[in-house]
Structures are given as structure tokens and as C-alpha cells.
Structure 1
């Protein structure tokens, strides 16, 4: 049987995503990642350069997943917000990873910060092309929409307490309806995109 380096990398990556989502960077253990991936610890260092770099790559990949899955466009905001809400509901690991990153990042810097910032700047550029008045408005718009959707998944206990809904799925469905409606109102207040010549 031949050694498949790419399959090993993928197994390590998937095991690391689960480990980091559960335990954060500080609490994650390389030996548990290696055991879950059916790989040796040396492979983790060889392929990813260590636990901190692996954590950064996992977070970036998960953020990239949602960025590729859902396009936020002011012209179709309610539908996009609904899809984004569904994505977060189906992938709770992203919110957990982002929370761990916020709690554990050294001096406010995160692994791959420059590249991740460039990715968000690309989304802001896309929003500018839809007719938002300036870069600051587009940045604020993007950050607000992301927060509007993510809050239900950041603090699910608050969703339960505030909505007073014992059925978690019904609470999520209620919250989805609300954020989609708020997105509709927000999109109506956004400037209309300029027609293309």
C-alpha cells in the first residue's frame, strides 16, 4: 500500500477542525489530532508547521468556505442573509473557531491576518460595485450583516433566553425569519445600484 500524502493532510485537517472547535487553540492536543487523523504527530508539523499555524489554516479555510458558499449583495440581501443563516446553522464549527480565535489570539494578531484581510477587502470592493456610496459604508454594511446573522450562533443560550422558545429548531427558524426581514428593510434603505452603461 502506498502512502497518500494528500489524503493524510486532509484527514489531519478535518481532525484538527473538530479538535480546535471543541477545545480551542490552547486546549487542543496534537496527539488527539494525530490519533483522530490516523497519522503521526510529525506529519502535522511537516505539513502544517505546528499547532498554531494549523489552527490559523483551519480558521481561514472555514471562513473561505462560507465566503464561497454565500455572496452578500445588497440587491439580493434577504435571500443571501437567509442562505448565510442556514450555512451558519449547518456549520456551527466556524463560530466556535472564531470565538476561540478571539479569546486566544496573541496581541490581537491572527494567523494569516493579512491574507484574510485581503479577502474581506475583496468583498468590500464587490459591495462598492453594487452602489454603496463609499468604502466605509461598504465595510460597515458587511460587518453589520455578518453580525446580524452570526449572533444567534455566537450565543445560543441568549437566543433561548430572549426568545423564550424551548424548541431549539423553532427558535432558529424564528430568528431566521427575523434576520431575513431585517435584511429586507436594510436593503430597501441601501442606495439603489447605478445602472451599467
Structure 2
């Protein structure tokens, strides 16, 4: 069977994503990634250069995945938030990768930050064009939409960052029951925030 470089690269990427989500950058081991990927360590260094560059590549790809998969419809913010909540529930590795990145790399700019910033600017512009904070001047509308977007992101992400705490605070027996309650609550809060942000009567 001929060697399939792209398949090997994909297996390495998938194995690395799982390893980094579980152990972070410092705790991840290249030999475990190689074993899980059914590849040798030399292939990892050949394709990605170093463990640090592999982590950056995984995080960049995951952020790009959420950027293109997650949309906020200014006309249906609450419904969009429900879809985003479900997306994060199906892809919990992104929250863990972001937490590890924050713990280990701090707030230093990362590769591709300019592109990510542009992506978020597009989402903010969609909210502004959709009427969010329409009663405010243009600059203030942009800032209000940015705050709304980041608040919604926090409302969603925290549930998956600390699922055990979510279960305990809500006094539920399972994570699933707690997340079901949180999904409904987050949607309701997002609806109220978006309505308030349009300047519509309450």
C-alpha cells in the first residue's frame, strides 16, 4: 500500500487535538501522539516542526472551524445561540484548548490573531447591520455589538469550561440535566440582551 501523506497528517492532527485537550501543551507527549496516530515521531516533526507549532496548528484549525461553523443571525440571536451551544457541546475540545492556551501562553499574540480578529469583526458587523443597538451612534453601536458577542460567548463557554461546577450550582444529578437547563437559560438571556441592544421597548 502506497504511503498516504495526507492521511498521516490527518491522523497526527486528530491525535494531537485529543492529546492537547487532555494534557495541554506542557503535559502533552509527542510519543503518545505518535502512538495514537499510528505514525512515527519523525513524521510529526516533518509535518509540523515542533510540539509548540503542532499545538498552534491545532488551535488555529479549531478556531477556524468554529468561525465558519458558528453564525449569529442578528434577526434570530436566541436561535443562533442555541445552535452555538449545541456546537460547543459536540466539540468540547475547543474550550479545553483555549483554557490550556490561556494558562500556558498567557495573553501573548498568537499566530493568525489578525485573521481571527477580522473574523470577529465580520460577526460584529453582521450584528450592527442587523439592528443591534440601532439607537446609538455608529461607534457606540459597534462597541455594543462587540460586548454582546463576547457576553454571549462567555455565557455559552463557561458551561463547558466547568461542567462539574455547573452541575453542583444547579443541584442536578448529571451534567446532561444541568446543561439542558443552562441551554434554555442562555437562550433566554441572549434574547433579552439582544432585545435590549436594539433599543426596542421591553
Whether the aligned pair in 2 keeps the contact of 1:96 and 1:154 (CA below 8 Å) is yes
TM-score by length of 2: 0.88
Contact 1:101 1:110 in 2 (8 A): no
Work out the CA distance in 2 between the residues paired with 1:120 and 1:74. Answer: 14
Runs (4+) of structure 1 exceeding 4 A deviation are none
Q: CA deviation at 1:13?
A: 0.4
Higher relative contact order (CA 8 A, sep 6+): 1
Count of residues in Structure 1 that have an aligned counterpart in Structure 2: 193
Report which stretch shifted further, 16-25 or 159-168.
Answer: 159-168
Residue of 176, 185, 196 corresponding to 2:183: 176
Deviation per CA, 1:57-104, whole angstroms, max 9, x where unpaired? 111221222222221123111111111111111111111001000001
Mapped contact 2:25–2:100 kept (Cα < 8 A)? yes
**Aligned residue number for residue 194 of structure 2:** 187
How far has the Cα of 1:149 moved from its partner? 0.8
Q: Report the equivalent of 1:100.
A: 100
TM-score by length of 1: 0.90
Query: Does the aligned pair in 2 maintain the 1:124–1:142 contact within 8 Å?
Result: yes
TM-superposed CA distance for 1:118, in Å, is 2.5
Counterparts of residues 79-98 of structure 1 (less than 5 Å): 79-98=79-98
Aligned pair partner of 2:173 in 148, 166, 174: 166
Aligned to 2:63: 63
For 1:112 and 1:56, the matched residues in 2 are separated by: 9
Aligned pairs for 1:1-197 (under 5 A) are: 1-105=1-105, 108-133=108-133, 134-191=141-198
Aligned partners of 2:21 and 2:93 also within 8 Å? yes
Whole-angstrom CA distance in 2 between matches of 1:180 and 1:107:
29
- Secondary structure in 2 matching 1:108: coil
Deviation string 1:145-181 (CA, Å, 9 cap, x unpaired) is 1001111111112201210111221111001010011
Structure 2 residues not aligned, in runs of 5+ = 134-140
Q: Which runs of 5+ in 1 are unaligned?
A: none
